[in-house]
Amino acid sequence: MSRNKLSVKEWVAQTQIIGLVAKAGRYSGTYSHSGLAFEFCM
């Protein structure tokens, strides 16, 4: 069984979502708008 996984950068590019940013390199991480983060946690 194979799984198709999307990285955050791929998901943002495909959905063109605003409020979600993935950065690589120094000070890297995934950052989101607080409203989006709360909805995701629910």
pLDDT for position 1: 54
In a domain, 2, yes or no: no
In a domain, 16, yes or no: yes
pLDDT for position 23: 84
Q: Using 50, 70 and 90 to split pLDDT, how confident is the model at 2?
A: low
pLDDT one-digit tens code per residue, 4-32: 777 778 877 888 877 888 888 888 888 88
Mark 19-41 as b/e (b = at least 16 C-beta within 10 Å).
ebebeeeeeeeeebeeeeeeeee
Name the residue range of residue 19's domain. 8-41
Number of domains in the chain: 1
